[in-house]
Amino acid sequence: MLAIEVRGLTKAFRTYKKPPGLWGAVKGLFHRQYETVHAVKDVNFSVEEGELVGFLGPNGAGKTTTLKMLAGLLYPTSGDARVLGFTPWERADGYRRQFALLLGQKNQLWWDLPARESLELNAKIYGIARDGFERTVAEMSELLDVRDKLNVMVRELSLGERMKMELIAALLHQPKVLFLDEPTIGLDVVSQKKVREFLRHHNATRKTTILLTSHYMADIQELCQRVVIIDHGAIFFDGRLSEIIDRFADFKLVTIQCDGADRTPAASLARYGEVVEQTSASLKLKVKRERVIPVCKALLDELPVSDIDIEEVPIEEIIRQLFARGKTDGKS
């Protein structure tokens, strides 16, 4: 069963462009100049029930806008989406009770209340029964290691603790679909790991469908088998994370062990590839994929090689390069 179906989803923002300077401001009073930004352009994808999909893209790619449409916070300019059979922006009560949106960059809890009371207010809004509430809060705060922070004012929690409380708040009504927009942004490494483990556990035990955006590749690599990549509002990859290497990795890393590896000047190694590391006993080169075999042959011929190792470039680096490429390509 499909939990999320997105067809031709498009969102254009029309923003007022203020001309520079005072004269510009005066002119602007009479002739307003508008600019249309296509935040999301003809996006199509679908997610199976229970899937945990990574939604990736550089800043400004259209991720948050897409999630906000799927959560019914924004109307699309055109296109359609169904989540659990509902059209999100119709804002049916039946839908509201079955999904949650967590915005990592925004605070959704009451700042001036202890965390527990803030959670209680959320429970009241959703009409969640007392014992169910107590059980969920106890279980989740334990898993997230914030049980002893429930009586602390939200404003006094650390960012990591607050985000964990936000996560509990988002899950109180046991949503079937969860949209997570940068839930680990700015968190310390330990909290990031805790949140990741929690999400993995939650997805596995509750079969919650999760669409997750994150800038941390560790989140994506540990949680998502499938990723959807968006850039300039359009999707350019939808598939298994491991396929990204096949599709987009132009290089492999070749490491050789050889005595006196630092005696060969880097300049003369340039014909094989870029020297990544050179020590007295080893040499690491970034080599074009299609040249790996001939380069290995040549190295074996020319140097006293005792061992050779060929690895893929880490996926993190490939994604970083993809995004960098997107930026310099401009809006095409």
282-288 and 251-258 beta bridge pairing:
antiparallel
From the list ligand ADP, Mg ion, none, partner contacted by residue 61 (C-beta under 5 to 8 A by kind): ligand ADP
Q: Determine the residue type at 207.
A: K
Is residue 64 part of the contact set for ligand ADP (CB under 6 A)? yes
Burial class (CB in 10 A: 0-12, 13-18, 19+), 67: buried
Is residue 41 part of the contact set for ligand ADP (CB under 6 A)? no
Rounded to an integer, what distance in angstroms lies between the CA atom of residue 57 and that of residue 211? 13
Q: Which residues bind Mg ion (CB under 5 A)?
A: 63-64
The minimum distance between CB 179 and ligand ADP, in angstroms, equals: 12
Rounded to an integer, what distance in angstroms lies between the CA atom of residue 120 and that of residue 150? 11
Chain centre distance of CA 319 = 11
Kindly write out the interface string for residues 19-38 of this chain, putting x where it contacts ligand ADP by CB under 6 A and - elsewhere: ------------------x-
Length of the chain: 332
Is residue 63 part of the contact set for ligand ADP (CB under 6 A)? yes
Is residue 39 part of the contact set for ligand ADP (CB under 6 A)? yes
Is residue 92 part of the contact set for ligand ADP (CB under 6 A)? no
Q: Which stretch binds ligand ADP (CB under 6 A): 61-69, 124-132, 197-205, 319-327?
A: 61-69
Is residue 59 part of the contact set for ligand ADP (CB under 6 A)? yes
Is residue 61 part of the contact set for ligand ADP (CB under 6 A)? yes
What region does 150 belong to: left with phi over 0, alpha with psi -120 to 50, or beta? alpha
Return the sign of the alpha-carbon dihedral for residues 50, 193, 156, 143.
positive
Q: Of 138, 148, 145, which Cα lies nearest the Cα of 163?
A: 145
Is residue 65 part of the contact set for ligand ADP (CB under 6 A)? yes
Is residue 13 part of the contact set for ligand ADP (CB under 6 A)? yes
Which residue from 62, 72, 175, 183 is in contact with ligand ADP, where contact means CB under 6 A? 62
Q: Of 306, 304, 270, which Cα lies nearest the Cα of 288?
A: 270
Beta bridge partners of 62: none
From the list Mg ion, ligand ADP, none, partner contacted by residue 60 (C-beta under 5 to 8 A by kind): ligand ADP
From the list Mg ion, ligand ADP, none, partner contacted by residue 62 (C-beta under 5 to 8 A by kind): ligand ADP
Is residue 75 part of the contact set for ligand ADP (CB under 6 A)? no
* Residues making contact with ligand ADP (CB under 6 A): 13, 15, 37, 39, 57, 59-65
